[in-house]
Amino acid sequence: MNAFVIEAEKLHDNIKQIIAKAASRKIYAVIKGDGYGFGLCTYAKILVTCGINALAVTEPYEVAALREAGIDCEILMIRATAIPGEIEELLRHNAILTVGSNEDAVTINGIAGRLGTKAKVHIKIDTGMGRYGYLLNDIEKIGAVYDYMDNIEPLGIYTHLNAAFGSKKKTLAQIESFKALVAELKRRGYEAGCVHFANSSAFYRFSDMDFLDAVRIGSAFTGRIPYPCKTGLNRIGYLESEICEIRWLEKGATVGYGGAYRAKSPKKIAIIPLGYSHGFGVEKIRDTYRFRDGVRYVLQDIKRTLSGEKVYVTVNGKRARVLGHIGMLHTVVDITDLTCKVGDNVQFKVNPLYVNANVVRKYI
């Protein structure tokens, strides 16, 4: 059966390493996108059991599912929303909301009042991400949340870095402007509460920086952070399937759509019932926003073409080359030089984020 396999011991080790590195700071374990592909509730339970006591998600239904699964720790909603139905659901499930504008604040304040509760929120500052948040010169508007919204209790303030994996200069400028805004709020007598800005890349890249009160860590738990550096973390998760057919190809026979692979000599092949619909060979589209992104992609493609880069899977612990294009539900590999039989295990390297939610998550 196809499964996405997660090595629990390695995960425990990553969690332990991250908790130690955060020292006494609070950690928000970000588990958006079905827990980065690790399965929302199972993954959340492991995090909590290993000592994490605050989670962060982007969807109200995630909060509902976590509460239903019996997880009663702090949950921060890191997406702002002015949609009344979403706000009500979040308040009912005792989530901490994000306020990124006075429109958000007024709506949340009204609904909390109607429900007879006080909404706990973190204030979001936009330092370049351009999605949610007050701008750096919105200090008067932010003050209004503290001054006039009786049903809102601000417990923290944060920003999201847009290039912690890339431009150091841009990132440091964002951090500085965010810190300056928080200092000004404090100078005006407002209680900033829990102040945070670091994602995984910032956390590992600027290790000697003062991360203030909390860090928001997502990808690092899976052992794959966007900023290229040695973290000492375990890379976790792979897709697993089994050989369903074995056969021989004659010289000149083709494999897959378009007949892209043609056998130059007789080949023994294995068919595996797993393809891109499960998440193998799937990549995010390369959105070419700037001219230089386009140039970089072209250079990457030329390099890849010239080096004849091939795709491999692991059959019984041995490398086997993928032949032809990966199919929606099938992959064909060359096993001419391998010893294997129908039912044998095959492992695929994948980005967990792209593993289809229908694929069973198997913790080992």
Ligand X SMILES: *Cc1c(COP(=O)(O)O)cnc(C)c1O
217 binds ligand X (CB under 6 A): yes
Interatomic CA distance for residues 66 and 62, integer angstroms: 6
Instruction: Using the minimum distance from each CB to ligand X, give the nearer residue, 87 or 202.
Output: 202
101 binds ligand X (CB under 6 A): no
> Least distance to ligand X from the beta carbon of 220, Å?
6
Instruction: Using the minimum distance from each CB to ligand X, give the nearer residue, 82 or 129.
Output: 129
Name the strands in the sheet holding 345-348, side by side, starting at the edge strand that comes first in the sequence.
Answer: 318-321, 312-315, 345-348, 238-242, 3-6, 360-363
212 torsion bin: left (phi>0), alpha (psi -120 to 50), beta (else): left
Q: What is the DSSP string of 122-160?
A: EEEE-SS--SSSB-TT-HHHHHHHHHH-TTEEEEEEEE-
Q: Which of 199, 231, 241, 331 binds ligand X (CB under 6 A)?
A: 199
Instruction: Using the minimum distance from each CB to ligand X, give the nearer residue, 164 or 243.
Output: 164
Interatomic CA distance for residues 308 and 65, integer angstroms: 45
160 binds ligand X (CB under 6 A): yes
Q: Which of 44, 76, 78, 320 binds ligand X (CB under 6 A)?
A: 78
C-beta separation of 240 from 311 below 8 A? no
- Residue range at the interface with ligand X (CB under 6 A); choices 198-206, 228-236, 307-315, 326-334: 198-206
218 binds ligand X (CB under 6 A): yes
Interatomic CA distance for residues 274 and 239, integer angstroms: 9
Instruction: Using the minimum distance from each CB to ligand X, give the nearer residue, 2 or 127.
Output: 127
Instruction: Using the minimum distance from each CB to ligand X, give the nearer residue, 78 or 142.
Output: 78
Q: Which of 101, 174, 200, 331 binds ligand X (CB under 6 A)?
A: 200
- Residue range at the interface with ligand X (CB under 6 A); choices 103-111, 142-150, 218-226, 256-264: 218-226
159 binds ligand X (CB under 6 A): no
Q: Which stretch of DSSP H or E encloses residue 11?
A: helix 8-21
Interatomic CA distance for residues 347 and 316, integer angstroms: 8
- Residue range at the interface with ligand X (CB under 6 A); choices 182-190, 216-224, 320-328, 333-341: 216-224
201 binds ligand X (CB under 6 A): yes
Q: Residues near 20 by Cβ (< 8 Å), separated by ≥ 6? A: none
Interatomic CA distance for residues 332 and 183, integer angstroms: 59
CA-nearest of 179, 176, 214, 216 to 200 is 216
> Least distance to ligand X from the beta carbon of 226, Å?
6
Interatomic CA distance for residues 139 and 151, integer angstroms: 20
Instruction: Using the minimum distance from each CB to ligand X, give the nearer residue, 97 or 340.
Output: 97
Write out the binding residues for ligand X, residues 18-37 only, by CB under 6 A.
Answer: 30, 32
331 binds ligand X (CB under 6 A): no
Q: Residues near 38 by Cβ (< 8 Å), separated by ≥ 6? A: 6, 11, 31, 222, 236, 237, 352, 361
Write out the binding residues for ligand X, residues 41-70 only, by CB under 6 A.
Answer: none
Binding interface with ligand X (CB under 6 A) = 30, 32, 78, 160, 199-201, 216-220, 226
